[in-house]
Amino acid sequence: MGKSWLRAYILKRLLYAVIIAWGILTVTFVLVRVGPSSPADRYLANMTASGQDVSQIVEAIEARYGLDKPMHEQYIEYMGNLFQGKLGWSFSNSMPVIDLIKTHWIYSFQLILLSSIFAALLGVVVGIYSAVKQYTKTDYIATFFSFVGISLPNFWLGVMLILVFSVKLGLFKTYYDTGLPLFSLDNLKALVLPVMTLGTGMLAGYVRYTRSAMLDNLRKGFVTTARAKGLPERTVIGKHVFRNALLPLVTIVMFDLGSIVFGGAYLTEIVFGIPGLGQISFNAIFANDYPVVVAVTLIGTSIVLLVNLVTDVAYTYLDPRIRYD
C-alpha cells in the first residue's frame, strides 16, 4: 500500500507543531516576566551590602541585558533571537543557555530513557502474563500491585526509597553522584532508585493497560478460530492478541512520555539531586532566570509534539485501517 499522503500529512503536522510551540513559548515568556521581581534582583543583596546605590545598580544591570525596554520589545527581541537559534544568556549561571543545556540534558535523558524502558518492558510482560492467567493468584497479585503503584505519588516514593535502601540498608547513596562516568556500572547503580521512583507509576499503568487490551482481544472471535485452526497457543497470543493490543498501548506509552518529561522527571531529579534539565529549570524559576525557563519549556514542548507526530505515523503501520487526509 502506497503512503504518498503521509508526506503531506507530516508536513502539515510539523507546521502545526511550530505554531503550537510558539503559543506555548509566548505564554511562558509572559508568565515569567509579569512577576514582580527582576532577574537583576539576585545581584542586589551582595552589592547593597558593599554600600552601593540600589536603584543605580538595578538600572545598570537592566540596561545591560535590555530589561529596561517595554515588555513587547523584549518579547520581539527574544523571539527574533530564538528564530536565529540563540537561546539567550542565563543570568543565574552566567553562561549562555545553550551551553547550560548541553551540559545538563544527558542527565534527564538517561533517567527518562531508562525509566521508560524499565516500565514498558516489565509492564508489557507482566500485563500479558496477567491477562493470559486471568483470575489466578498471579493475576490478583499483579493487579493489586499495579493499583498500589498507580496510587503512589513519585516524590513520596522517592523519599521512601531513599529512607529504606539508602539510610536504613545502606545499599545506595542518598543522592545522585555526578562524578561518575556515564557508561559505567556505578552510574547505572546510582540510577537504580531514581529509575524506580520515576518508573513505578508508569510500570503500574502499563501492566493495567496491557492486561485490559489483551483481555479485550482474547475474547474476539478470530482468537477462537485461530485456536480451532490448530495454531499453537503461544502464536495465538503473540500474533493475534498482542499485535492487536499494541495500538492502545502505543497511545498510552507515548502519551505518558509527555507527562513524564514535564512532571515526574522534574520531581525525581529534585528529590535525588540529579542535575538534569528539570533541576536547572526549577532553580531558574526561583532565580527569575527566564531565558532558562523558556528554553527548557521549548525543549519539553518540542519533544511532546514530535512524539505525538511519531505516534500518529506509527499508527498507520500498526493498523492498516488508519489513514489521515
Partner 1 sequence: MMSHELLDVRDLKKYYPVTAGFLSRHIGDIKAVDGVSFHVREHEILGLVGESGCGKSTLGRTILRLEEPTSGEVLHRGTDIAKLGKRELRELRKEMQIILQDPDASLDPRMTVGDSICEPLTIHNIGDEKERTERVAELMEQVGLEAAQATHHPHEFSGGQKQRVGIARALAINPKLIIADEPVSALDVSIQAQILNLMMDIQQEFGLAYLFIAHDLSVIKHMAHRVAVMYLGKIAELASKPELFQNPLHPYTEALLSAVPSVKPKGKERILLHGDVPSPLNPPPGCHFHPRCHRVLPSCSRKEPELAEISQGHFVACHLCDAGDL
Interface residue with partner 1 among 224, 259, 306, 310 (CB under 8 A) is 224
Q: Does 230 bind partner 1 (CB under 8 A)?
A: yes
Q: Would you say 105 or 324 has its CB closer to partner 1?
A: 324
DSSP state, residue 219: T
- Give the separation between CA 157 and CA 98, rounded to whole angstroms: 33
Q: Does 221 bind partner 1 (CB under 8 A)?
A: yes
Q: Does 139 bind partner 1 (CB under 8 A)?
A: no
Helix, strand, or coil (residue 193)? helix
Which stretch, 101-109, 226-234, 258-266, 268-276, contacts partner 1 (CB under 8 A)? 226-234
Q: Does 220 bind partner 1 (CB under 8 A)?
A: yes
Non-local (6+) Cβ contacts of 288 within 8 A are 32, 35, 37, 38, 39, 41, 42, 91
Identify each DSSP E strand in 220-292 by its residue range: none
- Give the separation between CA 180 and CA 171, rounded to whole angstroms: 17
DSSP assignment of 63-131: HHHTTTS-HHHHHHHHHHHHHTT---EETTTTEEHHHHHHHHHHHHHHHHHHHHHHHHHHHHHHHHHHH
- Give the separation between CA 72 and CA 193, rounded to whole angstroms: 45
- Give the separation between CA 208 and CA 211, rounded to whole angstroms: 5
CB of 1 to partner 1, least distance (A): 9
Q: Would you say 248 or 258 has its CB closer to partner 1?
A: 248
Q: Does 240 bind partner 1 (CB under 8 A)?
A: yes
Interface residue with partner 1 among 227, 259, 306, 310 (CB under 8 A) is 227
DSSP state, residue 220: S
Q: At what angle do helices 277-286 and 290-318 cross, to 10 degrees?
A: 140
Q: Using CB under 8 A as the criterion, what x/- string covers residues 260-299 for binding partner 1?
A: ----------------------------------------
Q: Would you say 309 or 318 has its CB closer to partner 1?
A: 318
Compute and round to an integer the Cα radius of gyration of the chain.
Answer: 25
Which stretch, 96-104, 190-198, 236-244, 287-295, contacts partner 1 (CB under 8 A)? 236-244
Q: Does 225 bind partner 1 (CB under 8 A)?
A: yes
Q: Does 3 bind partner 1 (CB under 8 A)?
A: no
CB of 232 to partner 1, least distance (A): 8
CB of 10 to partner 1, least distance (A): 23
- Give the separation between CA 156 and CA 158, rounded to whole angstroms: 5
Interface residue with partner 1 among 19, 45, 169, 228 (CB under 8 A) is 228
Q: Would you say 147 or 222 has its CB closer to partner 1?
A: 222
Which stretch, 43-51, 175-183, 189-197, 315-323, contacts partner 1 (CB under 8 A)? 315-323
Residue entry with cell 545538563: 104
CB of 316 to partner 1, least distance (A): 12
The site for partner 1, by CB under 8 A, has a size of 19
